[in-house]
Amino acid sequence: MTAEPREMSGESPTGRSDDRAGRVSRRFAFGDGRIFHEISIDGAIARSSIATDGSNDDALSQWWRGYLRGEKPETMVRRNLRSIELFSGAGGLATGVRQAVRELGFEMESVAAVDQDLEALKIYSANHGTREIVHASATTLVDVQVRGTRDEARFLYPPEPIRKGWESLVGTVDVLLAGPPCQGHSNLNNHTRRTDKRNELYLTVPAVAIALKVPVIVIENVRAVVHDRIGVVASTIRLLRDQGYEVETGVLHADRLGWPQRRARYFLIARRESAPLPIADVASGLSAEPRPVSWAFEAPGSVPEFMTEISDYSEENRRRIDWLFDHDAYDLPMSERPDCHRDGTTYLSVYGRLHPDRPAPTITTGFMTMGRGRNIHPTERRGLNPLEAARLQGFPDNYVFQPEGEPVPPRRGLVKWIGDAVPMPLGYAAALSALGPELAT
């Protein structure tokens, strides 16, 4: 760090005095043109800093705005933490984890990323410096068979790595990240929900972790994953506990961590040798009032042109947008909706306009489509563009969605990579639960 703070503030990120004596807390101070940040976990403290933007916003807003500008916290690096991610997508979960790792005083070294979307893997590698990208199903990595479900789940024999060269990774990886496909669990899936065969991919995560002897595991999914009919979460917990892991589970809400999006994800976090921090303790220590949508759209940095392109709406949808603004409205009445909605719909936010002074609803892969959510810009007569959705998801402005030598990404890919991502604050909080105990070592 380039300078020492004059005095650490005892205020919470919301500006209120905070006397809670929780296991996790954070504080800020200003000095010499910088914001100084402390995160305390069970009394152990990590310090980092970034340049202040000079605004009058509270410290947490300035800290996160620096993150969105692409600033890397200055800190004393203790050592590297080697990571592998399964079902990696374009790297949303890793982005939040990497930010927490840096603030804790470590550096994340991406050993491998595994996904069946090759273009997403290229984006992941371009941003995280990944040594090996594996364009294959996670089921090809290990030899494993599981008998029984839930509390009866058992490995028939110890899982073993079968991918060429991966035997050298045994005992060398610090953390395994994973976001198994969630469409089979989603409440928006009205066809195969709870029984989708993709749900079983969840069980490849404990198999890979055990085969490679990875001591720390972070798995994220939709909240409804716990209702899967074959009990993949309960089975995973049983398999991990049988191998000496301690497990924490819980739901994290982005807006309750101060972020301008109401998105929630279910996390399963496991550690050997020492327990993860309870997710509730982390959420309590990081709790803050949510920033509004307008905050997320302030002062974006320089980005490629394709990140600011907007949808070319039909004449009918342009008329609907005009109606919202002409009537200073945020919800489209039934009389202005398509005929198929006029007999009633449970998706009342569809065709809606974002409230500038509230957090956004969950960003999905339909964020550029008026009929797939509340996706109209709060102050301009248009829909969201990829940059705005990416910021709401917590991707910094310098995140590379067009790796060097690759063509401009197709819109269908871009909206998928952004809409499917885990918002940065959720990965950040999960990383504190998983890796916080490392701070004391």
Tally of domains in the chain: 2
Are 93 and 107 contained in the same domain? yes
Are 265 and 307 contained in the same domain? no
Are 328 and 433 contained in the same domain? no
Residue 13 resides in a domain: no
Are 271 and 351 contained in the same domain? no
Are 284 and 302 contained in the same domain? no
Confidence of residue 189 (pLDDT cuts 50, 70, 90): very low
pLDDT, average across residues 293-312: 95
CATH number, domain containing residue 408: 3.90.120.10
Residue 271 resides in a domain: yes
| pLDDT value at residue 301 | 87
Are 427 and 315 contained in the same domain? no
pLDDT tens digits, one per residue of 428-439: 999 999 999 998
Are 303 and 413 contained in the same domain? yes
Share of the chain above pLDDT 70, in %: 89
Are 435 and 412 contained in the same domain? no
| pLDDT value at residue 440 | 75
Residue 49 resides in a domain: no
Residue 179 resides in a domain: yes
Are 311 and 250 contained in the same domain? no
Residue 45 resides in a domain: no
Burial 411-425 (b: 16+ CB within 10 A, else e): eeebbbbbbbbbbbb
Residue 39 resides in a domain: no
pLDDT tens digits, one per residue of 13-32: 443 334 445 799 999 999 99
Q: Give the bridge partners for 137, in sequence order.
A: none
Mean pLDDT of the chain: 90
Domain range spanning residue 400?
294-419
Are 299 and 399 contained in the same domain? yes
Give this prediction's pTM.
Answer: 0.91
Confidence of residue 113 (pLDDT cuts 50, 70, 90): very high
Residue 24 resides in a domain: no
Catalytically active residues are 182
Residue 23 resides in a domain: no
| pLDDT value at residue 337 | 86
Lowest mean pLDDT among 179-183, 372-376, 423-427: 179-183
CATH number, domain containing residue 262: 3.40.50.150
pLDDT tens digits, one per residue of 352-371: 999 999 999 999 999 999 99
Are 86 and 160 contained in the same domain? yes
**Res. 307: pLDDT tops 80:** yes
